[in-house]
Amino acid sequence: MADIPAKPVLLTGASGALGRHLAKSLGTAGWTLKLTDIVPFPDPMPANSSFTRADLNNGVDILRLAEGCGMILHFGGVATEHPFEDVLGPNIRGLYHIYEAARREKARVLFASSNHSIGFHERDVPLDDDCQFMPDGYYGLSKAYGELMGRMYWYKHGVENVNVRIGSSFPEPVDARMLSTWLSYDDLTRLCIRATLAEKTGSCVIWGASKNSRTYWRHDAREQLGWLPQDSADPYAGQLVGKVSDNPIQERYQGGAYPVMDYTRTAPPPGRLFGK
């Protein structure tokens, strides 16, 4: 069938919330999946799928898992803010193993990047996909590094990659910020399908958000990819528009609560890096 990849798809982070949803949705659609995570897969195994428990730090295991795959949906690694040493192995070394596997197999990569790679941009400044990285913690820093790694593998080795700066992907938005950043599970699934089946992607960036009128983000590669989100946070505005924190730093920046973590400044920095 035209909407089923010719080769198996490797899904890392399969035991996480997004991985579990993707495994179920893509498995139901008839995709052949190789699932992996550092913890056991908690759900019934989808048809035509297998699960292998593996650590992203183990390059040999990742190479073996990727054998014969045409696409790697990379959702594995540390998924929230953690100390640098916790992030270093899975998110930096682990991503290198993913790209080396993709290079060997001539596979494409969808990298689950994050809005936290640009989280210190202020909310009143709309961003395009070529905006400056402004990570709001070690997690966001690893995502910026991951996008740069993908760019390097594209220019140096021709490894195609789609970098999805995921906003807030949950069953539904839960606060006012998510009226801008929310990505529905179904829109995420549709994005993964298009990233896999598109004729070509090069190395591109997609803002991982649904069709939200309050979005912080503008231009990206979605039209070239053929992905147009169908869901929206707008219907939740009535119940969420005033649901904000009492922290001015949190409400100032696009990264929300992440810029506040381990924040030691006594006053916010200027809007520009070298501003007065």
Distance between CA atoms of 239 and 114, rounded to whole angstroms? 26
The catalytic residue among 138, 139, 236, 253 is 139
Distance between CA atoms of 101 and 66, rounded to whole angstroms? 6
Give residues with Cβ within 8 angstroms of 30, minimum separation 6. Answer: 1, 4, 47, 48
Tell me the three-class secondary structure of the chain, residue by residue.
CCCCCCCCEEEECCCCHHHHHHHHHHHHCCCCEEEEECCCCCCCCCCCEEEEECCCCCHHHHHHHHCCCCEEEECCCCCCCCCHHHHHHHHHHHHHHHHHHHHHHCCEEEEEEEHHHCCCCECCCCECCCCCCCCCCHHHHHHHHHHHHHHHHHHHHCCCEEEEEECECCCCCCCCCHHHHECCHHHHHHHHHHHHHCCCCCEEEEEECCCCCCCCECCCCHHHHCCCCCCCCHHHHHHHCCCCCCCHHHHHECCCCHHHCCCCCCCCCCCCCCCC
- Block residue for tokens 């080396």: 100
Judge whether 153 counts as a catalytic residue: no
User: For 109, what's the count of Cα atoms within 13 Å in the CB-facing half-sphere?
Assistant: 36
Catalytically annotated residues: 139
